[in-house]
Homo-oligomer: A and B are copies of this chain.
Amino acid sequence: MECKITLIPGDGIGPEIVGEAVKVLNKVADKFGHTFNYTKILMGGCSIDEYGVPLTDEAVDICKASDAVLLGAVGGNVGNSRWYDVAPNLRPEAGLLKIRKDLGLFANLRPAYLYNELKKACPLKEEITKDGFDMIIVRELTGGLYFGERETKTVNGMLEARDTLTYNEEEIRRIAIKAFEIARKRKKKVTSVDKANVLDSSRLWRKVVAEVSKDYEDVALENMLVDNCAMQLVMNPGQFDVILTENMFGDILSDEASMITGSIGMLSSASLGKTKLGLYEPSHGSAPDIAGQNKANPIATILSAAMMLKFSLDLDKEANAIEEAVAKVLSEGYRTVDIASNETKEVVGTDKMGDLIAANI
């Protein structure tokens, strides 16, 4: 099979980790007789440096003409308190928002599970995680506060800023369907998270999700308030299978969920739309503090490449080969520094981790 993959190395550790994923993909191509043609584009800070904007329309066109997009990470100045001075559409992260919207990627899938090999790194007590946990967050990605109208204006001599959170039935229905479809192939439970005791958009969310659930009688539906969910994730993460939620709640809860696994350097994600074209990226950020030091963990990106093979290219066997290679290397005791413990056999750098995984394909 021959296919076109757009690579977006991005900022910070992005280029390093995408490099390792390509190494592994090339090994897959060799072994299974495929041809992966790569095109690189710029997004984020590097694109601002080159073109003055975080993502050009030409770059989006290249993505649209490809079968799948593999992203490292964008952004860098997190924590910079002068951020609000920069026009929002000129910050590195705006590239990410633009690509999600332009490619119509309304469904963000973020698996969060506890690796047996990494239980030591999990911040939760063993009595809570003894049976493990394995959930996937299905986050709506092109609606809500992220893409609502916003305005900052002077009212009575004072600045006033407004953001809007809007959802319509269709936007809710399509993401709900994704969640139920995924749950059907897993533990058959959807926890829909909202704030229906306060928000109109959440009440519509609850109504539409209940309607969709009628077509999935084999899948259990539970509604949970977002504040309660933030607690339950810490207290009893094992209760969750599929968490379905809107854009901002999903942003917060998926970061919390990935952190309780203790292995945020290991978690992949997929952003999908109506067509096969998807965007795949690690759940973690661009970690500018360790960029270029051969310290970053490439596994989340490599596993994102596996998701890409599965969801966009229908190469299930090949995806499994990557997942097995990762499991093998971990079971042999190799770790990057972020997931190392006193049981680690050898702490390896970014490139060696990529080599080891590629060698096991």
Contacts and interface: CB of A to CB of B under 8 A. Distances in A.
Given A123-B125, A235-B259, A199 B78 contact: no
Interface string A71-109: 000010011010110001001010001000000000000
A356 interface: no
Interface stretch (A161-169, A174-182, A269-277): A161-169
A1 interface: no
Chain A, interface size category, equals 35 or more
A234 B210 contact: no
B168 A225 contact: no
Given A123-B125, A159-B204, A160-B167, A199 B145 contact: yes
Given A83-B197, A128-B123, A164 B162 contact: yes
Contact of A252 (B146, B222, B226): B226
Interface stretch (A12-20, A150-158, A286-294, A297-305): A150-158
A126 to B, nearest CB: 8
Contacts of A248: 195
A159 B205 CA distance: 11
A4 interface: no
Given A84-B207, A203-B83, A224-B79, A198 B97 contact: yes
A78 B193 CA distance: 12
- Copies per assembly: 2
A228 interface: yes
Interface in A246-266: 248-249, 251-256, 258-260, 264
A193 to B, nearest CB: 10
A60 interface: no
Contact of A124 (B125, B221, B222): B125
A255 B235 contact: no
Contacts of A249: 252
Contacts of A88: 197-198, 200, 203
A253 B196 CA distance: 18
Interface string A132-149: 000000000000011010
Given A200-B152, A226-B252, A228-B78, A165 B168 contact: no
Given A230-B259, A252-B226, A161 B150 contact: no
Of all A-B residue pairs in the complex, the 7 with the closest CB atoms, nearest first, are A84-B203, A161-B204, A231-B259, A160-B168, A230-B256, A227-B255, A150-B200
5 contacts: A123-B235, A158-B169, A160-B204, A161-B204, A234-B260
Given A93-B198, A230-B255, 9 more contacts: A158-B169, A160-B167, A162-B200, A163-B164, A163-B199, A226-B251, A227-B251, A230-B252, A234-B256
